[in-house]
Structure 1
Amino acid sequence: MKPIGRRTRRWLMRAAGSALFLAVLLLVLPLEAVVAAFRAIPPATFALVLLGFLVAHVAAAMKWRLLLDNRIGVSRGLKAHFAGLAANLCLPGAIGGDAVRAGVAYGSLGNGPAVVAAAAADRLVDLAALLIVSLIGATEMFNPGAETKLAKVAIVLFCAAVVVLYALVQLLPQIYRLAPKLPGRGFLVRLTEALGALARRPLRLIFVLATSIAIQMTLVLLAWWLAVAAGADARIGYWVFAWPLAKVIAVLPISLNGLGMREAALAAFLAPHVSDPAMIVAAGLAWQAVMFAAGLIGGAIQLISREKPAALTTGGSEL
């Protein structure tokens, strides 16, 4: 009998994690209420949310392409990005999708280090954007209706994120000066180079971060629209605070692309502020369906183009 490969074993472990989270949720919450809330979402709303999701990811593809200095064409950038969305259906976690996206880009660019660095910088900028969006939501939670204060907080957070990204360029190389035997030095060097390239172009850095914040806020509001359609009574400030945090938590490598874990985290954050957490879970599962549909569209694009990701090499070693 052929032994189970490492990738398959990892996938099975994450699938078990997702199954466990979902089982606990459905034990705690009435299944009938979750199903009823899920079925309450009109098909037209689901279709419009899916369309908005796809448009947001077109913008995300262009942002990532900008981090590559526009060295790949628009069509190739879109193919690569949507190939990554398709890969998220079967590979463990968002990083698997990043690897496929990088492989398609590498087939055109032929510069492994640049592709890896752009992917790492893209993830870091998106993380900063998610935290900013969450803090904006927290401000709205405690000061509902204070639009002027909200705008000031958003500007301060944006400036702070730019400063932090600049500081990382200086601080990351110091890690290996203090501990030269730590693993992952090559990756850190590439990440520093990518951030350094952004730091040398402050307007580009500001534009990339602003674009990422706009994309993440759009996705948060689309998910909130699904929740409202499911019957949830979550105030928008609470949702904008909780959803990005649940998304960050879902990146932990213990579930399939966040399935089950995102819904559990979101329900835990919002349970004190909504009348029925079952509707929150239903909205989260509907969002998973949106991501699944987008992944199928990405797979169809890849099938039509009949293009396979290239083996990504960085200085002689494959990633």
Structure 2
Amino acid sequence: MTRGTGRALRKWAIRAGGSALALALIFSLLPREAIFEGFARLTWPLFLSVFASFLVCHVAAAAKWWWLMDRAIGFPAALRAHFGGLAANLCLPGAAGGDAVRAGLAHVALRDGPRVAAAAVGDRTVDLVALVCLMLVGLTLIGGAGSGGFAIAVAGGILAAASAGLFLLPPLVRALWRRWPRLPARDLALRTAEAFAALTRRPGVLLAALALSVSIQAALIGLSIQLALVVGVNVPVAAWFFAWPLAKIIATLPVSLGGLGVRESSLAALLAPFGAAAAEVVASGLAWQGILYLAGALGALVLALSGGSFRTRPSAIKEMSE
């Protein structure tokens, strides 16, 4: 076993332990019968229709990432890479997350590591801003008109900070290597700075990506509500728009396998003040987690049937770092 493989297995074991602990706490603190009763209310037609809509949302998410990459590769290749990354993020016990696998697969086709990196960071920044904006919209609707000004100010501050991060990185990198020209990886740093600069020269694309991301995340919230209503969770839609994005952000912490256990417990805690029964929220959340893993398995199947792999070739890794 190589050192890299051992490190990957340790990270996977930590995440698996985090999910196991979260699930153990959920099933020890909440009535199991209520959770199972919530599952029993779900029907296969509903589950499969939500799953199909979930896949459509991820096709749109792949298109968003593809646009940020300036459509440098064919859309089928981008779609394959996106679902390969989704599979890696949810299903594989590897060190590389979904973004790394997606970037690696894109680089195999594009051979332009800096552009792939800029698109990946831009995509994640846009998604984070979209989630925070939706969360603040929900908070505003819950709190009434009095909290609207504060929520808008916070959302504007987050958007400004994210924009500043993207726009200020290129000149900062250039200034750093101009001041200390003997720093290592000069060519890679300058090429990466130029890739970020090229992305910021397309503000219309960034705004369109943000609008699309907000639409995708709002659609995913709607799908979650469909599952929850059948299970028996009845809370205001505004509460969902506040709690769901926040639970998703919490679930991205590297302490679980794809958010398993963490997402459900976080969502149950956040919706409890609005009258939601924790057991029913957990039941709907686990059903949603099943959709996530099913989509990841589908991505793995598509990647395998197309002759792909979750590991990029050593030459591709070398090219990304040159």
TM-score range, shorter chain: 0.7 to 0.9
The Cα shift of 1:157 comes to 7.5
Count of matched residue pairs:
311
Q: Distance in 2 between matches of 1:94 and 1:142?
A: 41
CA 1:46–1:154: 2 relative to 1, 3 Å? farther
User: SS of 2:97's equivalent?
Assistant: helix
Q: Distance in 1 between matches of 2:305 and 2:127?
A: 29
Taking only aligned residues, the RMSD between alpha carbons, in angstroms, comes to: 3.3
Which residue identity lines up with residue 39 of structure 2 in the other structure?
F
The Cα shift of 1:163 comes to 3.6
User: SS of 1:102's equivalent?
Assistant: helix
CA 1:130–1:138: 2 relative to 1, 3 Å? same
**Residue equivalent to 1:22:** 23
Which residue identity lines up with residue 302 of structure 2 in the other structure?
I
**Residue equivalent to 2:163:** 166
Identity over aligned residues, as a percent?
Answer: 46
Q: Distance in 2 between matches of 1:88 and 1:139?
A: 32
Q: Distance in 1 between matches of 2:186 and 2:46?
A: 47
**Any conservation in 2 of the 1:220–1:243 contact (CA below 8 Å)?**
yes
Instruction: Give the TM-score, by structure 1 length.
Output: 0.86
**Any conservation in 2 of the 1:121–1:191 contact (CA below 8 Å)?**
no
The one-character-per-residue Cα deviations of 1:233-286 (angstroms, maximum 9, x if unpaired) are 121100110010011011111111111011111111111212411111111101
CA 1:153–1:201: 2 relative to 1, 3 Å? farther
Q: Distance in 2 between matches of 1:153 and 1:34?
A: 37
For residue 317 of structure 2, the aligned residue among 301, 310, 313 is 313
**Any conservation in 2 of the 1:113–1:314 contact (CA below 8 Å)?**
no
**Any conservation in 2 of the 1:56–1:215 contact (CA below 8 Å)?**
yes
**Residue equivalent to 1:75:** 76
The Cα shift of 1:136 comes to 0.8
CA 1:273–1:316: 2 relative to 1, 3 Å? closer
In the TM superposition, what are the counterparts of 1:2-41 in structure 2 within 5 Å?
5-41=6-42
1:209 and 2:206 equivalent?
no
Which residue identity lines up with residue 165 of structure 2 in the other structure?
L
**Any conservation in 2 of the 1:14–1:255 contact (CA below 8 Å)?**
yes
The Cα shift of 1:74 comes to 1.1
**Any conservation in 2 of the 1:117–1:194 contact (CA below 8 Å)?**
yes
CA 1:269–1:92: 2 relative to 1, 3 Å? farther
Which residue identity lines up with residue 231 of structure 2 in the other structure?
A
The one-character-per-residue Cα deviations of 1:108-154 (angstroms, maximum 9, x if unpaired) are 101122212211211111111110111111112123xx8xx98x999
Q: Which is further off, 230-239 or 307-316? A: 307-316
The one-character-per-residue Cα deviations of 1:170-213 (angstroms, maximum 9, x if unpaired) are 44465996xx9xx9999987776554333212211110111111
User: SS of 1:313's equivalent?
Assistant: helix
**Any conservation in 1 of the 2:57–2:220 contact (CA below 8 Å)?**
yes
Structure number with higher helix proportion = 2
Q: Which is further off, 267-276 or 206-215? A: 267-276
The Cα shift of 1:169 comes to 3.3
Q: Distance in 1 between matches of 2:81 and 2:59?
A: 11
Q: Which runs of 5+ in 1 are unaligned?
A: none
User: SS of 1:88's equivalent?
Assistant: helix
CA 1:169–1:90: 2 relative to 1, 3 Å? closer
User: SS of 2:91's equivalent?
Assistant: coil
**Residue equivalent to 1:238:** 239
Q: Distance in 2 between matches of 1:88 and 1:255?
A: 11
CA 1:184–1:306: 2 relative to 1, 3 Å? same
The Cα shift of 1:94 comes to 11
